[in-house]
Amino acid sequence: MRISDKDISGCAIAGILCEDGRRISGETVTRSIALMRERSNGLGGGFAAYGIYPDYADHYCFHVLYDGLGEPGREEAERIIDFYFEVEHDEPVPIRRVQEIGHPPRFRRYFLTLKQSVREEYYDLSETDLVIKAVMKINGDVANAFVVSSGKNMGVFKGVGYPEDISRLFMLEDYKAYLWTAHGRFPTNTSGWWGGAHPFGILDWSVVHNGEISSYGINRRFLQDFGYECTMFTDTEVIAYICDLLIRKHELPVEVAARAMAPPFWEEIDSGRSPSPELDRALRIAYGGAMLNGPFSIVVGFTGGMFALSDRLKLRPASAARADSTLYVASEESAIRAICPDPDEIWNIDGGVPVIGRLRQPAATEV
């Protein structure tokens, strides 16, 4: 078969949530995403992991990418970090040499608590808003420094390469998490670079995405009104910020936020054929700038849960499965069966209908 004969849907996504709090090795999700290797082209792979830093569970953890020789931007980035935070501990993110990756940039992680003096100076902002303020300042003002994740007890590991190679680079088999998401990238309208790989994160939100957000310009302008700055040069970044805005700041339930991002069409609402016409009409009016247009399927991770969502027309495929207390999602059913051969149930995700999993008890045990 020639490559031109293949219908390319672009990108691979996967997620595993152990709702009973078990923490599993990154090797498992790596096997799932690796099965979909032909959906990516080596220009991006990455993972988000939750529950990996139990010794610093109450600290914000910044994973910072320093893009270039000699860690340019580190001094300026650390000056911003030192202004906002007390640094409990910092260290390089451990990596091993992987021939397929070449010469990766440097990653460093910082375990942080917000300074009392900053709380008092910016008394009108919440703690989480101040963390975002620090992230936006580094990503917007510091050349060659990018905060790729900033939540508590979680982290994003990503770069230019196939996802299984990125997993080996960061030695993810040594990490234990109750929630893993993964991505294999096939960029179509932006360049492949380390900061542009998925997942995209802000606070504890992380997003992996297959598709294209044609509403990026509208979404970006909408987010700017709320203080978010998009600096990673790809459409997926807006999804992470929209999740943060709708669910954390505006306190919408996940089900309602998903409905705002992928609402029914106006003709369904006006005809009364949508399940909740009044709610849907209000969401489209209030959150028109948060609506995602274009073909997409996404997996969103957050502390205590995960949800998957496809566009209303279901132009990008996604499947989900359950086995005992574990929820699986992936671009292809085969990627789920690779790690869960006999699930209790398995189904194709309906367009515009979120599949939601939640942690039922604190993460504790390991397998």
* CA 222 – CA 291 distance, rounded (Å): 10
Tell me whether residue 230 is one of the annotated catalytic residues. Answer: no
* CA 336 – CA 320 distance, rounded (Å): 8
8-state DSSP, 97: -
- Please name the amino acid found at residue 212: E
What six digits make up the tokens of 204? 């504890």
* CA 26 – CA 6 distance, rounded (Å): 30
* CA 233 – CA 247 distance, rounded (Å): 24
Which residues 6+ apart lie within 8 Å of 63 measured at CB? Answer: 93, 107, 108, 109, 147, 148, 149, 150, 155, 156, 157
Which residues 6+ apart lie within 8 Å of 52 measured at CB? Answer: 153, 154, 155, 175, 176, 177
SS3 215: coil
Torsion sign (Cα): 302, 308, 311, 317: positive
* Active-site residue, from 11, 61, 230, 243: 11
Just list the catalytic residues.
Answer: 11
